[in-house]
């Protein structure tokens, strides 16, 4: 019988046989697969990544349709946030070679995050300045009286520091500028 079939018909026939066998032995096959995944978890993850990527590349239209449907659902769940996110993405389209967010986009997202964080009042800033008695926070006491004090975050916002009074100090312009977005190591 198989000698009279064309290559395509033979392939379809073999697929049907394999499908019938799988349906007859489904639970046994699934149990074997689960056991292999538990025995070799790293290889199972790698294999899943490879097959997922291959499927996505072979079915780009389905993937894009699913992405559009997900985006639409997210938009209607919170249209204001979706519009804001789209605006931010448009402003900073540039991405680095390795896929990390560009510095510009990172700064925009950081500003957006601090916009929603608590603000420090002028009274709190005055209390901090009075507590330091006009001395630079980063220099030894009695060594440098600040002519033009600047507000500084002890743990920088870039390193997930907060914008609260507990994280703010006054420093001279040179110390603040040289510290940058690092955590200062007091000796």
Render pLDDT for 130-180 as a digit per residue (tens, 0 to 9).
888 888 888 776 667 787 888 888 888 777 777 788 888 888 888 888 887
In this structure, are 86 and 107 located in the same domain?
yes
What is the domain count for the chain? 3
How far apart are alpha carbons 129 and 145 in whole angstroms?
A: 12
Residue 26 scores a pLDDT above 90: yes
Q: Can you tell me the mean pLDDT for 35-55?
A: 90
Q: List CB contacts of 176: < 8 A, sequence separation 6 or more.
A: 150, 152
The domain of 32 spans: 27-58
Residue 187 scores a pLDDT above 50: no
Torsions phi, psi of 41, nearest 5? -65, -40
Q: Final residue of a domain: which of 37, 58, 79?
A: 58
Residue 21 lies in a domain: no
Residue 1 scores a pLDDT above 60: no
Residue 134 lies in a domain: yes
Q: What is residue 186's predicted lDDT score, i.e. its pLDDT?
A: 55
Residue 167 lies in a domain: yes
Q: What percent of the chain has pLDDT over 70?
A: 80
The token pair that represents 111 in the structure block = 């500003």
Q: What percent of the chain has pLDDT over 90?
A: 20
Residue 44 lies in a domain: yes
Mean confidence (pLDDT) of the chain: 81
Residue 107 lies in a domain: yes
Segment 99-105 long-range contacts (CB within 8 Å, at least 24 positions apart): none
In this structure, are 111 and 128 located in the same domain?
no
In this structure, are 54 and 64 located in the same domain?
no
How far apart are alpha carbons 161 and 159 in whole angstroms?
A: 6
Q: Which helix (H) or strand (E) holds 146?
A: none
Using CA atoms, how far residue 179 sits from 13, 50, 164, 185, in Å, is 72, 44, 19, 10
Residue 18 lies in a domain: no
How far apart are alpha carbons 171 and 27 in whole angstroms?
A: 68
In this structure, are 126 and 175 located in the same domain?
yes
Q: How confident is the model at residue 110 (pLDDT cuts 50, 70, 90)?
A: low
In this structure, are 46 and 78 located in the same domain?
no
Query: Is 181 in a helix, a strand, or coil?
Result: coil
In this structure, are 104 and 65 located in the same domain?
yes
More confident residue, 96 or 168: 168
More confident residue, 33 or 165: 33
Q: What is residue 141's predicted lDDT score, i.e. its pLDDT?
A: 62
In this structure, are 64 and 51 located in the same domain?
no
Among 7-11, 59-63, 114-118, the range scoring the smallest mean pLDDT is 114-118
In this structure, are 126 and 169 located in the same domain?
yes
Q: What is residue 180's predicted lDDT score, i.e. its pLDDT?
A: 79
In this structure, are 135 and 165 located in the same domain?
yes
Using CA atoms, how far residue 4 sits from 18, 19, 80, 93, in Å, is 20, 22, 64, 58
Identify the residue whose tokens are 């349906």.
23
In this structure, are 52 and 68 located in the same domain?
no
The token pair that represents 49 in the structure block = 């990544």
Q: What is residue 97's predicted lDDT score, i.e. its pLDDT?
A: 44
Residue 150 lies in a domain: yes
Q: What is residue 93's predicted lDDT score, i.e. its pLDDT?
A: 59
pTM of the model: 0.40
Residue 13 lies in a domain: no
Do residues 29 and 22 make contact, with C-beta atoms less than 8 angstroms apart?
Answer: yes
The token pair that represents 154 in the structure block = 């002890």
Q: Final residue of a domain: which of 58, 79, 104?
A: 58
């Amino acid at each position: 019988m198989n000698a009279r079939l064309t290559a395509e018909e033979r392939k379809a026939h073999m697929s049907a046989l394999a499908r019938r066998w799988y349906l007859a032995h489904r639970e046994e096959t699934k149990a074997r697969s689960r056991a292999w995944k538990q025995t070799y978890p790293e290889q199972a993850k790698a294999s899943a990544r490879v097959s997922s990527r291959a499927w996505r590349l072979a079915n780009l239209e389905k993937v894009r349709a699913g992405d559009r449907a997900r985006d639409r659902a997210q938009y209607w769940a919170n249209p204001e946030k979706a519009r804001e996110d789209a605006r931010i993405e448009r402003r900073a389209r540039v991405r680095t070679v390795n896929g990390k967010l560009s510095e510009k986009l990172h700064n925009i997202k950081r500003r957006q995050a601090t916009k929603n964080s608590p603000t420090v009042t002028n009274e709190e800033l005055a209390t901090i300045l009075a507590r330091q008695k006009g001395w630079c926070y980063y220099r030894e006491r009695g060594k440098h009286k600040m002519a033009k004090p600047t507000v500084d975050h002890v743990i920088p916002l870039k390193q997930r520091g907060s914008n609260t009074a507990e994280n703010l100090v006054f420093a001279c312009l040179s110390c603040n500028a040289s510290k940058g977005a690092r955590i200062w190591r007091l000796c």
